[in-house]
Structure 1
Amino acid sequence: MSRHILHLIHEGQAVTVVAGYDRPLRELFLHVVRDDGAADRQAEVLLYDSLAEPGLDWTDINTVANQLAALGIEPPASLIESIFLDQCFNAGNRVVEHHLNQPPVVLQPSGGSTA
């Protein structure tokens, strides 16, 4: 599973977007979490979870882009492009941190296709 992470301030609050490609399911996913500032994960509030919307086409990168737009989040182009490429190349175990004003940083390179 690839993971693309974006930390930003949205509507005055710290928010983390985690999206990517799940190789075994061959689907994309999207989670948006508000961080209330505490050190533990208990303080995170889930704002959006793609699992709650199984009727959407999670094999289409436009679904990720459209859901982010509906939330009022404009990610850097690198986030959407990278997720799409992960899907095209069946990439897994890749972790990339994206930024609004600088290039993305690869935290863990892809494990490659096992298909």
Structure 2
Amino acid sequence: MSRHIARLQHEGQPAIVVAGYDHPLGRLFLYVVRGDSEMPSEEHPLIYDSLLELRLDWTDINTVTDKLAALGIEVPASMIEQVYLDQCFNAGNRLVEHHADRPPTVLYAG
């Protein structure tokens, strides 16, 4: 599974967007957490989770971009591009952090 992370502001508060490609399932995923933690908790509630909308076509990168637009969230273009490439190349075991002001940081690629 690849995971791409962007730390940003949503509605004036910090949020983390996590998107990626789950190659065993052949599906993309997306979740957004309020605060500065990648893992949802009572302190860091979920803003959105693609697991709650399984009827959407999570094999299409446009579903990810459409959902982000509906939430009013703009991520770095590199994030969408690399999630799409992970899907095209059936990539897994990648962890990348995307930034608005500099190139992405590959945290793990195995």
Counterpart contact for 1:36–1:45, Cα < 8 Å: no
Q: TM-score, normalised by structure 2?
A: 0.93
Q: What does residue 103 of structure 1 align with? A: 103
Q: Measure, in 1, the Cα distance between the counterparts of 2:27 and 2:52.
A: 14
Q: Measure, in 2, the Cα distance between the counterparts of 1:70 and 1:102.
A: 25
Q: What does residue 24 of structure 2 align with? A: 24
- Structure 1 residues 43 and 62 mapped into 2: Cα distance closer, same or farther (>3 Å)? same
- Which residues in structure 2 correspond to 1:1-115 (within 5 Å)? 1-35=1-35, 41-109=41-109, 111=110
User: Cα deviation per residue 1:32-86 (whole Å; 9 max; x = unaligned)?
Assistant: 000178xx94411100000000110000000000000000001111000000000
Q: Percent identity?
A: 66
Which secondary structure state, in structure 1, belongs to the residue aligned with residue 4 of structure 2? strand
Structure 1 unaligned runs (5+)? none
- Structure 1 residues 46 and 103 mapped into 2: Cα distance closer, same or farther (>3 Å)? same
Q: Measure, in 2, the Cα distance between the counterparts of 1:22 and 1:76.
A: 21
Say which one has the larger Rg: 1
Q: Measure, in 2, the Cα distance between the counterparts of 1:18 and 1:36.
A: 12
RMSD (CA atoms): 1.6
Structure 2 unaligned runs (5+)? none
Which secondary structure state, in structure 2, belongs to the residue aligned with residue 48 of structure 1? strand
